[in-house]
Amino acid sequence: MSWLDELDVGRGELDTACGGAELPPAAESVAYLRASRKPAVAQVLRAADREARTVVQPRCGVGGHAPMLGLLRTLRGARPGVLSVTIDAYTRLGRFGTARRVLDAEPVALNGYPLVAHGWRRGRELNEAVRVPLEIRHGSPDARVLFAVAISSGISSFEGGGIAYNLPYSKDVPLARSLRAWQRVDAACGRLAEDGVIVDRELFGTLTAVLVPPSISLAVTLLEAVAAAREGVRCLSIAYPQGGDAHQDVAALRSIRVLARRHLPASVEVYPVLHEFMGVFPKDLGTADALVRYGGLVARLGGAVKVINKTNQEAAGVPDGPANAHGIRTAARGVEDAAACVDLDEARVREEMYWIQREVTELVDPVLQGDSLFDDIAAAFRAGTLDIPFSASRHARSAVLPAREPGGAIRYLDPGALPFSPGTRRFHAGRLRGHRDARNLLEGITADINYFLTEEGRASTTSLRATGATGVRTP
């Protein structure tokens, strides 16, 4: 059985999705990847981890092929460690014919690169246009066809998972369906690993991107990681979204390796990744730059091997190439600043790590102790014992209500049906007591979502003091 067979998609279905253009034989794609002169993403991450470096990766994707080639070449000069091919919404949802029609009529109307419509030969052109390796970023509950075209294109990293690429993006895709689809992708990665091709599987911890408590993000990615490892995945990047409080974010990043050692086989490589702040971005360019730089700093302090950067154009929409290149350089400057500018309160970091890891354990242990991982995950979301805030999916209760304490850390104002112990509930209630009484609920949550808007200076280097970091020295 080949890696293509593992996807459990008929050859005819694949050819139809690809507009009649046949994919190369599975063995030919393996040979292409193995013969590549550029490093695979797993090799880049392994080298960065060994050298205690944090590589920077932008988000980038446009509809047309020539503009996408131009964008990748433009960003090459900013020296990213990995480059992205962000996929359009039609392709993410499996509407390959619509993506093809829009591509033919008005490619600028697409919000990403429709790789399936362009085909694997153009995918290889992208891959060969730059020295650094590429990753596919998308948001598909069922990514099997896209994965087949990506691997045929020689792309060595693929983001997503059955929970995090379903509940934040789709209204009514049952979890059982997305989990089984992603199981086939992971099984294909396992088969590729047996053939000597290590595909980096990045897990998207950002979820709904707004006020996501760290333990929810890490619980979801941990369950996806366990599922992937069981199928033979050998390289996992576990991503966490920057919340805004330096100590809490650093603690979450440092907890990734601890949780991985506890729940994953030692044979699986695990790399912590930080998504720079995904919430509402400041409009002021200087403040936005400070927030981008702050993200790089937090990534390095937390031991992230990779940081996905933002830009100073986030408040205006999709950033252009020069802004994205500037964002890469700005995030990299933050990474460099980490050792020179900040001494964290390590006691606070340890306290946050204790509570994050305790909460993750309380969330995932009941699921991992069951007999059927996927059935138990789906049942937990139905019962609300696993949950994510602000989800549009009818397959998540979204009964959890997060809020910020005065220093910016994200706590559980209402944990819904999450199976937290009385001690964990008391901890969160205590941290929010008094602060939440001063405002009504809607005003408070809105202010928490607009955290970096309502106090523009918060993102500046000086504001690190406001978020609790001590020993900050102005660079």
Active site amino acids:
92, 159
Chain-centroid distance of CA 53 in Å reads 19
Joined tokens for residue 8 = 């459990």
Q: Is 408 left (phi over 0), alpha (psi -120 to 50) or beta?
A: left
C-alpha dihedral (56, 67, 157, 323), degrees to nearest 10: 20
Query: What is the enclosing helix (H) or strand (E) of 36?
Result: none
Query: Helices marked H in 153-270 — which ranges?
Result: 175-194, 214-230, 246-263
Joined tokens for residue 70 = 């131009």
Residue 311 has, within 13 A of its CA and on its CB side, a CA count of 21
Nearest-angstrom CA–CA distance, 175 and 166:
7
Joined tokens for residue 197 = 């091709």
Nearest-angstrom CA–CA distance, 148 and 238:
22
410-414 and 401-404 beta bridge pairing: antiparallel
Q: How buried is 37 (Cβ within 10 angstroms: 0-12 exposed, 13-18 middle, 19+ buried)?
A: exposed
Task: Compute the chain's Rg from CA coordinates.
Answer: 21
Contact 467, 458 (CB under 8 A): yes
C-alpha dihedral (73, 74, 76, 80), degrees to nearest 10: -130
| Opening angle at CA 361, ends 358 and 362, nearest 5 | 90
Other CB atoms within 10 A of residue 143 CB: 28
Query: Helices marked H in 342-457 — which ranges?
Result: 346-368, 373-383, 422-432, 441-449, 451-454
Burial letters 353-376, b for 16+ CB under 10 A, else e: bebbbbbbbbbbeebeeeeebbeb
Tokens 């049942």 sit on residue: 379
Joined tokens for residue 366 = 């009941």
**CA-to-CA separations, 274 to 2, 244, 249, 301, 447, in angstroms, rounded:** 33, 12, 9, 11, 23
Query: What is the enclosing helix (H) or strand (E) of 402?
Result: strand 401-404
